Amino acid sequence: VARAERFARDALASNDGSHDLWHVERVRASAVALARLEGANAFVCELAALLHDVDDWKYARGDGAKGRARTFLEDSCADVDAATRETVLDVCARIGFKSELEKAEKSRADDDEESVEFRCVQDADRLDAIGAIGIGRTFCFGGARGNPMHVPGVPPMVDVTAARYEAAHRDETRPNTTINHFHEKLFRLRGLMKTASGRARAERRHATMVEFVERFHREWDG
Residue range 56-96, pLDDT digits in tens: 988 875 544 568 999 999 999 989 999 999 999 999 999 99
Which amino acid does the sequence have at 89? L
> How many other β-carbons are positioned within 10 Å of the β-carbon of residue 114?
15
Identify which has the larger pLDDT, 122 or 60.
Answer: 122
| % residues pLDDT > 90 (the chain) | 75
* Architecture of the domain delimited by 1-221: Orthogonal Bundle (1.10)
Whether residue 99 is predicted with pLDDT greater than 90 in this model: the reply is: no
Residue type at 114? E
pLDDT at 88: 95
144-168 as b/e: b if 16+ CB within 10 A: eeebeeeeeeeeeeeebebeebbeb
Where residue 108 falls among pLDDT bands split at 50, 70, 90? low
Task: Give the residue from 132, 69, 102, 108 showing the smallest Cα distance to 194.
Answer: 108
Q: What is the largest CA-CA distance in the chain?
A: 60
Share of the chain above pLDDT 70, in %: 92
Q: Please, which pLDDT band fits residue 141 given cuts at 50, 70 and 90?
A: very high
Kindly list the domain boundaries of the chain, sorted by start residue. 1-221
Q: How many angstroms separate the CA atoms of 49 and 28, rounded?
A: 5
Sign of the dihedral defined by the CA atoms of residues 84, 76, 25, 163, in that order: negative
| pTM (2 d.p.) | 0.92
More confident site: 6 or 175:
6
